[in-house]
Chain A
Amino acid sequence: MEQPSSHLKIKRTGDVSVVEFADRKILEELSIQEISDELRGLAESDVGAQLLLNFENVDHLASAALGMLITLHKRVQEHNGTLKLSNINRQIFQVFKITRLNRVFDIHDTAEQALASFGNV
């Protein structure tokens, strides 16, 4: 039986799958593929999947993680779903700004704000 990834914590809040990262230094090269596989499963599990990635525990990431997020974003869109990000700290957000990816992703300050924007209050 396949063991679930230990890198992610996933819970449902209404119709939204809320994902938190278990590692502080997430998205390092060694774990990105496993995380990517698990998130892709979520994106493809339902038509119109609503996915929130909460970066609260994240204080570091590799550029390959940005690529993974982009691929995930496209996959969610292909399945008519919605992807949002939240709780990105100042340093990580700077990486998004430098790469202009803050314009690609729907980023919210808090998970509560992000959830409200899905239409779940």
Chain B
Amino acid sequence: MKVPSDFGVDDADFVNVTVPSDLRKLREPEARIMTELKRCGYDQDTVFAIKLAFEEAVTNAVKHGNANDRSKLIHLRYYVDPQRVVLMVRDEGPGFHPDGVPDPTADENLERPSGRGLMLMHSYMTKVLYSRAGNEVWLLKESPSAPGTGTSSRDANSNVG
């Protein structure tokens, strides 16, 4: 799947990384993304938000998508400039339906031990889009200081083919 057209980035401008399904192997690409964020002058709150969302996405890909199978791969794409950050995480699993995840903030779910990762991604990112199969997620974070950005919109899950 190519980058969503409303993310404002050319598909050719991404850095592409492929790693085995091992969270330790994801530390290096994460560190490179963090270095780019700091180089582009993103503030601490935005760095925190992106780090959190990225880690939720890759953890879901490793644990749920690829079921911790190290023979499967995690495919990453990232783009960073001072106006926006775009991340893509794709696993080699069967996918899932993001709409089927219960709201973890509902009273009846509040004390469940899991199920908050997607909600946090939506809360901290400008946009979150899933592929139709559900095994690929695109995250957009617009810089708070970029022209035209106001209160970040929180898009509902969308299936993009």
B114 interfacial contact with A, CB 8 Å: yes
Q: How large is the interface on B (under 10, 10 to 19, 20 to 34, 35 or more residues)?
A: 20 to 34
Q: A70, B113: Cβ atoms under 8 Å?
A: yes
Q: Which of A12-40 contact B (CB under 8 A)?
A: 28-30
Establish whether residues A95 and B120, one from each chain, have CB atoms under 8 Å apart when the complex forms.
yes
A63 adjacent to B48 (CB under 8 Å): no
- Nearest B residue (CB) for A68: B113
**C-alpha gap A62/B55 in the complex (Å):** 7
Which residue of chain B lies nearest to A90 when distances are taken between CB atoms in the complex? B45
Q: How far is the CA of A70 from the CA of B112 in the complex (A)?
A: 7
Residues of A45-101 contacting chain B, CB below 8 A:
59-60, 62-64, 66-68, 70-71, 73-74, 91, 95, 98-101
A contact residues around B116 at 8 Å (CB): 63, 66-67, 99
In the complex, 9 of the A-B residue pairs with CB atoms within 8 angstroms, ordered by the A residue number, are A30-B23, A60-B48, A60-B52, A62-B56, A62-B59, A63-B59, A64-B114, A67-B114, A70-B111
A residues near B (Cβ < 8 Å) are 28-30, 59-60, 62-64, 66-68, 70-71, 73-74, 91, 95, 98-101, 103-104
B: residues with CB less than 8 A from A are 23-24, 44-45, 48, 51-52, 55-56, 59, 63, 104-105, 110-114, 116-117, 119-120, 123
